[in-house]
Amino acid sequence: MTQKTQLPAISQLSITVISVGLIIFFGWQYSQTSRLKNNLVTANEQRAVQFEQSNLVQTKTSEQLEAFLGDLLTLAETDAQAAALVERYNIRRNARAAETEDAE
């Protein structure tokens, strides 16, 4: 004799409500996680663009500074004020730059 155990209707209803609640909760968690992932991907792409722009600005500024100091050193050969600035701040050409200019 086998007896089938059936849960009362109230137990089945409470299991159903809990299951639906868990499905809703996990669906909400998934949507939040997806939104967060998309935000992080977008922020990473924007950071990469800003990094590239920063490198371009830094390179341009460095080139402008080198050109300015080169002009100042050239001017210092004939101008006393420029020579005083070069002497005061100990501005010198590095060996590589001097070799490049001599080759030209």
Domain-embedded: residue 71: yes
Q: How confident is the model at residue 93 (pLDDT cuts 50, 70, 90)?
A: confident
pLDDT in tens, 5-26: 666 778 888 999 999 999 999 9
> Which of 92 and 1 is assigned the larger pLDDT?
92
Domain-embedded: residue 65: yes
Does 90 have pLDDT greater than 50?
A: yes
Domain-embedded: residue 59: yes
**Structural domain containing residue 32:** 11-103
Domain-embedded: residue 46: yes
pLDDT in tens, 47-57: 999 999 999 99
Q: Are 78 and 97 in contact (CB under 8 A)?
A: no
Tally of domains within the chain: 1
* pTM of the model as a whole: 0.54
Res 1: pLDDT: 47
Domain-embedded: residue 6: no
